[in-house]
Amino acid sequence: EAQVTQNPRYLITVTGKKLTVTCSQNMNHEYMSWYRQDPGLGLRQIYYSMNVEVTDKGDVPEGYKVSRKEKRNFPLILESPSPNQTSLYFCASSFKGQGFYEQYFGPGTRLTVT
């Protein structure tokens, strides 16, 4: 089954404690990205990757890191989480190109930073 998986689904942590949210897709997609969802703001892109070892900042990259060492995986790293990073996070993947390529979303990770 074609899917994007994220782990953990729920996480409560404390300020400053490094964490990683994993994302994996089984569709051989070149393109992967991370979004955060906040009330009244919709989803905003944090980082994206066009292929292995190719990553770039999205609209709200501050406080986040990513890496793309393998095509299927795109982890999101919060080196020193702060309460303003409390949010719902989505990983997404798709084929790359100008045409209609559906973005497949993971189930979301609800993060609370106290």
Partner 1 sequence: AQKITQTQPGMFVQEKEAVTLDCTYDTSDQSYGLFWYKQPSSGEMIFLIYQGSYDEQNATEGRYSLNFQKARKSANLVISASQLGDSAMYFCAMRGTLSGGYNKLIFGAGTRLAVHP
d(CA 47, CA 62): 10
d(CA 50, CA 74): 11
Q: Is 105 in the site for partner 1 (CB under 8 A)?
A: yes
Which stretch of DSSP H or E encloses residue 107? none
Selected from 1, 62, 69, 102, the binder of partner 1 by CB under 8 A is 102
Selected from 23, 94, 111, 113, the binder of partner 1 by CB under 8 A is 94
Tokens of 34: 């991370």
Task: List interacting residues with partner 1 (CB under 8 A).
Answer: 30-31, 33, 35, 40-45, 48, 50, 56, 58, 88, 90, 92, 94, 96-98, 100-103, 105, 107-108, 110
